[in-house]
Amino acid sequence: MPKKTIPRTETYTLDLDKLKALVHYICYKCPEPSLLGATKLNKILWYSDVVSYLRTGKPITGEKYTKRQFGPVPKHILSVLRNLEEKGLLAVKEADHFGYDKKEYIALKAPDLSKFTAEQIAIVDSIIEEICYKHTADTISKASHDIIWALAEIGEEIPLYAVLASKLGEITESDIEWAKRALATAEANAI
Protein backbone atom coordinates (compact mmCIF):
# COMPACT_ATOMS: atom_id res chain seq x y z
CA MET A 1 0.00 0.00 0.00
CA PRO A 2 1.49 3.39 -0.94
CA LYS A 3 2.40 5.69 1.90
CA LYS A 4 0.11 8.71 2.20
CA THR A 5 1.86 12.03 2.54
CA ILE A 6 0.24 14.83 4.43
CA PRO A 7 1.10 18.36 3.31
CA ARG A 8 2.87 20.47 5.91
CA THR A 9 1.10 23.61 4.77
CA GLU A 10 -2.41 24.35 3.65
CA THR A 11 -2.41 23.57 -0.08
CA TYR A 12 -6.13 23.34 -0.61
CA THR A 13 -8.84 25.86 -1.36
CA LEU A 14 -12.38 26.23 -0.14
CA ASP A 15 -15.05 24.53 -2.24
CA LEU A 16 -18.02 26.61 -1.09
CA ASP A 17 -20.58 24.52 -2.97
CA LYS A 18 -19.20 21.39 -1.34
CA LEU A 19 -19.36 23.04 2.09
CA LYS A 20 -23.01 23.98 1.47
CA ALA A 21 -23.79 20.45 0.33
CA LEU A 22 -22.06 19.00 3.39
CA VAL A 23 -23.96 21.23 5.82
CA HIS A 24 -27.19 20.26 4.07
CA TYR A 25 -26.26 16.56 4.27
CA ILE A 26 -25.39 16.73 7.98
CA CYS A 27 -28.73 18.40 8.76
CA TYR A 28 -30.55 15.77 6.67
CA LYS A 29 -28.65 12.84 8.19
CA CYS A 30 -29.37 13.98 11.76
CA PRO A 31 -33.15 14.35 11.37
CA GLU A 32 -33.99 14.88 15.04
CA PRO A 33 -33.60 18.68 15.40
CA SER A 34 -32.94 18.45 19.13
CA LEU A 35 -29.78 16.43 18.43
CA LEU A 36 -28.12 18.99 16.15
CA GLY A 37 -27.44 22.54 17.25
CA ALA A 38 -24.77 25.00 16.16
CA THR A 39 -22.03 23.54 18.36
CA LYS A 40 -22.53 19.99 17.12
CA LEU A 41 -22.83 21.11 13.49
CA ASN A 42 -19.55 23.01 13.74
CA LYS A 43 -17.81 20.05 15.36
CA ILE A 44 -19.07 17.57 12.75
CA LEU A 45 -17.66 19.84 10.03
CA TRP A 46 -14.34 20.26 11.90
CA TYR A 47 -13.82 16.58 12.63
CA SER A 48 -14.93 15.55 9.12
CA ASP A 49 -12.30 17.79 7.57
CA VAL A 50 -9.67 16.74 10.13
CA VAL A 51 -10.24 13.00 9.67
CA SER A 52 -10.26 13.34 5.89
CA TYR A 53 -7.06 15.38 6.08
CA LEU A 54 -5.34 12.76 8.23
CA ARG A 55 -6.49 9.86 6.03
CA THR A 56 -6.05 11.35 2.57
CA GLY A 57 -3.91 14.46 2.93
CA LYS A 58 -6.79 16.80 2.08
CA PRO A 59 -9.97 17.94 3.81
CA ILE A 60 -13.44 17.39 2.41
CA THR A 61 -14.41 21.06 2.06
CA GLY A 62 -11.21 23.11 2.20
CA GLU A 63 -12.88 25.36 4.77
CA LYS A 64 -10.79 27.41 7.20
CA TYR A 65 -11.62 27.14 10.92
CA THR A 66 -11.23 29.78 13.59
CA LYS A 67 -11.05 29.53 17.36
CA ARG A 68 -14.27 30.47 19.10
CA GLN A 69 -15.46 30.01 22.67
CA PHE A 70 -16.90 26.55 22.06
CA GLY A 71 -14.16 25.22 19.75
CA PRO A 72 -13.16 25.48 16.08
CA VAL A 73 -15.83 27.08 13.87
CA PRO A 74 -16.01 27.08 10.05
CA LYS A 75 -15.27 30.57 8.73
CA HIS A 76 -18.22 30.62 6.30
CA ILE A 77 -20.84 28.78 8.36
CA LEU A 78 -23.24 31.71 8.84
CA SER A 79 -23.35 32.64 5.14
CA VAL A 80 -23.74 28.95 4.21
CA LEU A 81 -26.70 28.54 6.57
CA ARG A 82 -28.33 31.72 5.25
CA ASN A 83 -27.86 30.52 1.67
CA LEU A 84 -29.38 27.11 2.42
CA GLU A 85 -32.36 28.81 4.08
CA GLU A 86 -32.83 31.20 1.14
CA LYS A 87 -32.84 28.26 -1.27
CA GLY A 88 -35.49 26.48 0.80
CA LEU A 89 -33.20 23.56 1.61
CA LEU A 90 -32.95 24.19 5.33
CA ALA A 91 -34.99 25.67 8.15
CA VAL A 92 -33.29 27.15 11.19
CA LYS A 93 -35.35 27.55 14.33
CA GLU A 94 -34.63 28.90 17.77
CA ALA A 95 -35.36 26.55 20.64
CA ASP A 96 -35.07 26.70 24.40
CA HIS A 97 -32.55 24.18 25.68
CA PHE A 98 -32.48 24.09 29.50
CA GLY A 99 -32.81 27.86 29.69
CA TYR A 100 -30.35 28.59 26.86
CA ASP A 101 -31.10 29.63 23.29
CA LYS A 102 -30.25 26.92 20.79
CA LYS A 103 -30.41 26.85 17.01
CA GLU A 104 -31.85 23.72 15.45
CA TYR A 105 -31.46 22.76 11.80
CA ILE A 106 -34.07 20.94 9.74
CA ALA A 107 -33.35 19.75 6.19
CA LEU A 108 -36.40 20.43 4.04
CA LYS A 109 -35.24 18.45 0.99
CA ALA A 110 -32.88 15.55 0.33
CA PRO A 111 -29.28 16.65 -0.26
CA ASP A 112 -27.26 16.20 -3.44
CA LEU A 113 -24.34 13.87 -2.67
CA SER A 114 -22.76 13.97 -6.14
CA LYS A 115 -19.87 16.16 -4.91
CA PHE A 116 -18.65 13.53 -2.45
CA THR A 117 -16.79 10.26 -2.66
CA ALA A 118 -18.02 7.18 -0.84
CA GLU A 119 -15.04 7.50 1.53
CA GLN A 120 -15.96 11.10 2.38
CA ILE A 121 -19.56 10.17 3.15
CA ALA A 122 -18.37 7.25 5.29
CA ILE A 123 -16.15 9.63 7.29
CA VAL A 124 -18.98 12.12 7.79
CA ASP A 125 -21.50 9.41 8.70
CA SER A 126 -19.24 7.99 11.41
CA ILE A 127 -18.66 11.46 12.86
CA ILE A 128 -22.38 12.30 12.77
CA GLU A 129 -23.10 9.04 14.61
CA GLU A 130 -20.50 9.82 17.26
CA ILE A 131 -21.37 13.48 17.82
CA CYS A 132 -25.16 13.51 17.37
CA TYR A 133 -25.90 10.38 19.35
CA LYS A 134 -23.05 9.99 21.85
CA HIS A 135 -22.28 13.57 22.86
CA THR A 136 -23.98 16.64 24.20
CA ALA A 137 -22.98 20.03 22.84
CA ASP A 138 -21.03 20.55 26.07
CA THR A 139 -19.06 17.27 25.91
CA ILE A 140 -18.11 17.65 22.24
CA SER A 141 -17.19 21.29 22.81
CA LYS A 142 -14.87 20.28 25.65
CA ALA A 143 -13.40 17.47 23.53
CA SER A 144 -12.49 19.99 20.83
CA HIS A 145 -10.64 22.13 23.40
CA ASP A 146 -7.36 20.35 22.81
CA ILE A 147 -3.81 21.73 22.77
CA ILE A 148 -4.32 23.22 19.30
CA TRP A 149 -7.40 25.15 20.40
CA ALA A 150 -5.71 26.23 23.65
CA LEU A 151 -2.70 27.71 21.83
CA ALA A 152 -4.78 29.80 19.42
CA GLU A 153 -6.28 33.20 20.22
CA ILE A 154 -10.05 33.77 19.89
CA GLY A 155 -10.69 34.53 16.21
CA GLU A 156 -7.37 33.07 15.06
CA GLU A 157 -7.33 30.50 12.27
CA ILE A 158 -6.58 26.93 13.34
CA PRO A 159 -4.85 25.25 10.40
CA LEU A 160 -5.69 21.60 9.85
CA TYR A 161 -2.03 20.59 9.74
CA ALA A 162 -1.78 21.62 13.41
CA VAL A 163 -3.58 18.38 14.30
CA LEU A 164 -0.37 16.58 13.38
CA ALA A 165 1.25 18.04 16.49
CA SER A 166 -1.70 17.58 18.83
CA LYS A 167 -0.85 14.07 19.99
CA LEU A 168 2.73 14.37 21.11
CA GLY A 169 4.23 11.32 22.73
CA GLU A 170 6.68 11.23 25.59
CA ILE A 171 10.33 11.74 24.80
CA THR A 172 12.21 8.59 25.76
CA GLU A 173 15.88 8.00 26.59
CA SER A 174 16.14 6.32 23.19
CA ASP A 175 14.87 9.52 21.52
CA ILE A 176 17.43 11.60 23.40
CA GLU A 177 20.28 9.25 22.45
CA TRP A 178 19.19 9.34 18.79
CA ALA A 179 19.11 13.17 18.86
CA LYS A 180 22.60 13.31 20.40
CA ARG A 181 23.97 10.96 17.71
CA ALA A 182 22.28 12.94 14.94
CA LEU A 183 23.67 16.20 16.32
CA ALA A 184 27.18 14.75 16.64
CA THR A 185 27.01 13.48 13.06
CA ALA A 186 25.76 16.84 11.80
CA GLU A 187 28.55 18.69 13.66
CA ALA A 188 31.20 16.29 12.32
CA ASN A 189 29.96 16.76 8.75
CA ALA A 190 29.98 20.55 9.15
CA ILE A 191 33.72 20.65 9.86
Cβ neighbours of 60 (radius 10 Å)? 27
In a domain, 1, yes or no: no
Cβ-in-10-Å burial (0-12, 13-18, 19+) of 77 comes to middle
Could you count the other beta carbons within 10 Å of the beta carbon of residue 58?
16
* Domain presence at residue 9: no
Q: 173: number of CA atoms within 13 Å, CB side?
A: 0
For residue 10, tell me if it sits in a domain. Answer: no
Predicted confidence (pLDDT) per residue in 135-153, tens digit = 988 888 888 878 788 888 9
- Cβ-in-10-Å burial (0-12, 13-18, 19+) of 183 comes to exposed
Q: How far apart are the first and last CA of the chain?
A: 41
* The total number of structural domains that make up the chain: 1
Quote the CA–CA distance of 116 and 48 in Å, as a whole number: 12
Is there a domain that residue 73 lies in? yes
Inside any domain, residue 4 = no
Residue 64 lies in a domain: yes
In a domain, 5, yes or no: no
* Chain segment 18-61, per-residue pLDDT in tens: 999 999 999 999 878 888 999 999 999 999 999 999 999 899 99
Which candidate, 66, 75, 98, 58, places its Cα nearest to that of 23? Answer: 75
* Inside any domain, residue 147: yes
Domain hosting 77: range is 16-190
Residues 90 and 27 sit within 8 Å (Cβ to Cβ): yes
Tens-place pLDDT, residues 89-131: 999 998 876 777 889 999 999 999 999 999 999 999 999 999 9
